Amino acid sequence: RGIFQKKWGFGKKPALIIIDMAYGWTDPEYALGSARLDGAVEGIQRLLPVCRAKGVPIIYTTSPFRKDGYGPMPSHTEGGAKYRAIDARAYDIDARLKPEKGDFIIYKENASAFFGTHLVSYLVECGVDTLIVTGCSTSACVRATVVDARAYRFKPIIPRQCVQDRAAEAHEWNLFDIDAKFGDVVDVAEVIDYLTKLKDN
């Protein structure tokens, strides 16, 4: 174990962040979409109603759609016509995880949800000490957000069933490395139990 695999634990005031669960990533019709994300959708669907019932702040991230084609998703791929062209829908949050009034939506252009956004000031304003990180991809935006969350001294909690990647190997390795260094990778049932015991916000 050495200096790694330290457990940060749960704090007193959590927030839930749902990273990039937009159609461009969840719908296999798009070049960067993957049906593997269905598992993360199901896991997040278990968390959302509990968070809403407890008044936990809920944050979504996606990216801004630009008609000029500049953005995090390429406008063309080697697959060509095999895939749906990147359009405004690609950046819409998947309806299975539809945001509600009062949720905070961040439009980011980099991997970390913190970089160049108002996320940290929003969390501080809400008095948050624990960030429950969900979404995709485990090896990129999830990992980058967890690393930055720890740098800002939040307690990152990653429910295993609520994150996913296009590649199983990348998913598993990054979960291992995140758990060893930057956050706590736990079962979603443990997070639900923690939330259930919280006083309503």
pTM above 0.85, yes or no: yes
Percentage of the chain lying above the pLDDT 90 cut = 82
> Does the residue 8 lie in any domain?
no
Mean pLDDT of 84-110: 94
> Does the residue 9 lie in any domain?
no
What CA–CA distances, in Å, run from 151 to 39, 106, 139, 145, 146? 29, 19, 18, 10, 9
Q: Has 51 been annotated as catalytic?
A: no
The CATH number that applies at residue 175 is: 3.40.50.850
* 154, 182 contact by CB (below 8 A): no
> Does the residue 172 lie in any domain?
yes
Catalytic residue among 51, 126, 136, 141: 141
> Does the residue 108 lie in any domain?
yes
Place of tokens 């009062």: 102
- Number of compact structural domains in the chain: 1
pLDDT in tens, 160-176: 999 999 999 999 999 99
Domain range for 124: 14-196
> Does the residue 68 lie in any domain?
yes
pLDDT in tens, 124-134: 999 999 999 99
> Does the residue 7 lie in any domain?
no
* 94, 26 contact by CB (below 8 A): yes
